[in-house]
Amino acid sequence: MSERILLVDDEKDFVETLAERMRSRDMTVSTATSAAGALDLIEEKSFDAIVLDLQMPGMDGLEALEMIKAKNPNLQVILLTGQATVEKGIQAMKLGAMDLLEKPADIDTLTEKIKKASAKKMVLVNEETEKKIKEIMGGKGW
């Protein structure tokens, strides 16, 4: 299965190179260089996971994470940061981030995290679908 991922980082050179590497690993990749751009893309397309830079101009990664999770709670977010403080890490986890990786990240570690994020999203979506089916069937007395 080809994971559909969104890479978000204000460093254009970083996001483009990482996207090329992820594509060569059979992932379907979209990119954004701002949190606002990422939120627009999430409205347009469906993703299995988002790799999000923590510190960006304007809206930062934590604000974006909060908005993403509010709109799409099943979507898994992996945060990337140049400054991984314990405080930020705790805050990110409380806001629903799946993981927090420090830059520069190892590609194999990141790929593994993306695959786990994708699998987790699938489980959550399936659970939600099953719940809805049960509710519908229960409502009809089946």
Partner 1 sequence: MADHWQTLGEEGIQFMGKMSASISHELKNVLAIINENAGLLNDFCRMSERGMDIDPERLAKVSDNITRQVQRADAILKNMNLFAHSTDTPLTVVDLHATLAMVIKLATRFAANRVIQLKLVPASEPLTITTRPFLLENLIWRCLDMSMNVAGVEKTITLSVIAGKDQAVIRFQGLGSQLEERSTIFPSPQDTDLLTILQSTLTIDSAVGELTLTLPQATSN
Binding site for partner 1 (CB under 8 A): 10-11, 13-14, 17-18, 20-21, 24, 55-58, 60, 80, 82-83, 102-105, 107
Q: Which two tokens stand for residue 76?
A: 């898994």
Q: Considering beta carbons, is residue 10 or 66 the nearer one to partner 1?
A: 10
CA 135 to CA 12: how far, in whole Å?
46
Closest approach of partner 1 to the CB of residue 135, in Å:
45
The residue assigned the tokens 């809805």 is 132
Name the minimum Å distance from CB 38 to partner 1. Answer: 16
CA distance 133 to 127: 10
Q: Which is nearer to partner 1, 75 or 79 (CB)?
A: 79
Q: How many Å from the N-terminal Cα to the C-terminal Cα in the chain?
A: 34
Complex with partner 1: residue 75 or 99, whichever CB lies closer: 99
- Shortest distance (Å) from residue 98 CB to partner 1: 20
CB-based contact 14:20 (threshold 8 Å) = no
Distance CA 123, CA 127 (A): 6
In the complex with partner 1, the residue whose CB is nearer, 22 or 75, is 22
Q: Which residues, 6 or more positions from 117, have their beta carbon under 8 angstroms from its beta carbon? A: 48, 49, 76, 77, 78, 98, 99
| Closer of 17 and 129 to partner 1 (Cβ) | 17
